[in-house]
Structure 1
């Protein structure tokens, strides 16, 4: 099957009803004149993933993956990019003409692009709240920015060794700290919050008088209490929609083989969808 015949894509995850990916990708297709392309949404957990992939028919170009599938998919792929392998997280699956499944990670360049858009291209040190798959992508982005040291505040002690392993593979100086001390993270020039909704709410009252930049990967609900307090104190805030749009731009381009994807149109579509919620 030629690349031109592959016109299906979708986002998988659990829960998935909240995902804005269909809105962003469909907006891109419409703007790019790809009227025969379709992008769906499927509720798929780790247990169901192997069966879902096995049952895919012809016409598929790619998949976007959200939690909890970013690591679970790796053993089911034929190949993964060096970037994805470094952090053991895949958010994009591309299908080749010969039926192979290739895993990649667009979160990492998406994080860098979102920060660059706000004028953040390098920092001496940073703090990451959380120690999951998105945190690993954040570390990779920080390593590419030449960040000197990163402190990771994990909510559970079980991932300390894993976090340090990411740092070693990335050539990044990473130290870990207790979640109980997360308020100290807010003094870093760049803070990246990768935790689920509600996890950082208790930090809203600890924002310093002159905060640096906060990158909160959540987009619904938005703004989070932490992001709101950060803005009130005069700090720069990068939101989850910024990340979602930038990584989706890369997904659209790689899945369709066309480009550039319309960043502004995709962002506007995402903002409109959030306002309707």
Structure 2
């Protein structure tokens, strides 16, 4: 029987998730539907209450990842550790919350570089930053700097990453005081509009830059990369969507078909 899935968030119009998941369904001949739904902060519980038996999975983006945690019946270990769920799998009588940003980030980074990573900085302190921090800890990072406009807003993220089994050392600093990052990788989770010349200069000597934004693209950070390694937001979106696809359908994700569809959609946006 046909199933329904979707992506929820606010704003949501820019999301490429429908393109990726629908391409996967088409490649496997699945009679499934996937659509974007605008759900503002505080609205997730009501949306969940209105779902029928034909719903199988939800992808969550800002501002719902932490809001989802108390609304599900069960959390995977990675979602529990992150304190955030970007995925809800709907079973017959239970809601499972998962976090595919973590394995998605690992796959995205390792697709672009195999260099050892011991030190890193993350720009931003929200739920996505926490997931990226946990992914970096999985990859061997032992010293992590969280760089934010207001240090008090990074407390939850810092505590989340500090609880990783690898026990990475965490420092929190102010974005407006950043000068030069001397780390193996810097990851930005802030909007493109917030990436000013000061930030771009501070990241100028970092060998690997990971920007989780995919729209608009390129961001100022991405445009400054030169011959250094760039991990883009589309890389993360694709790989976390592939994990979601498998959770929802129980089938291996046709990642090549999903990648082609996503790249085509991005090219159309760039030329519009």
TMscore range, shorter length: over 0.9
Q: 1:242 aligns with which of 204, 221, 235?
A: 235
Cα distance in 1 for residues equivalent to 2:94 and 2:64: 18
Cα distance in 2 for residues equivalent to 1:200 and 1:275: 22
2:174 corresponds to: 178
2:160 corresponds to: 166
How many pairs align? Answer: 266
After the TM superposition, which of the residue ranges 245-254 and 73-82 deviates more from structure 2?
73-82
Asked if residue 152 in structure 1 is aligned to residue 180 in structure 2, the reply is no
Asked if residue 204 in structure 1 is aligned to residue 197 in structure 2, the reply is no
Asked if residue 52 in structure 1 is aligned to residue 47 in structure 2, the reply is yes
State the TM-score, normalizing by the size of structure 2: 0.93
1:191 corresponds to: 186
Q: 1:134 aligns with which of 124, 128, 139?
A: 128
Q: 1:115–1:121: 8 Å Cα contact kept in structure 2?
A: no
SS in 2 for 1:195: coil
After TM superposition, list the pairs within 5 Å mapping 1:55-134 onto structure 2: 55-97=50-92, 99-120=93-114, 122-134=116-128
Cα distance in 1 for residues equivalent to 2:259 and 2:54: 27
SS in 2 for 1:230: coil
Asked if residue 264 in structure 1 is aligned to residue 260 in structure 2, the reply is no
Per-residue deviation, 1:168: 2.6
Cα distance in 1 for residues equivalent to 2:218 and 2:54: 38
Unaligned runs of 5+ in 2: none
Q: 2:186–2:206: 8 Å Cα contact kept in structure 1?
A: no
1:218 corresponds to: 213
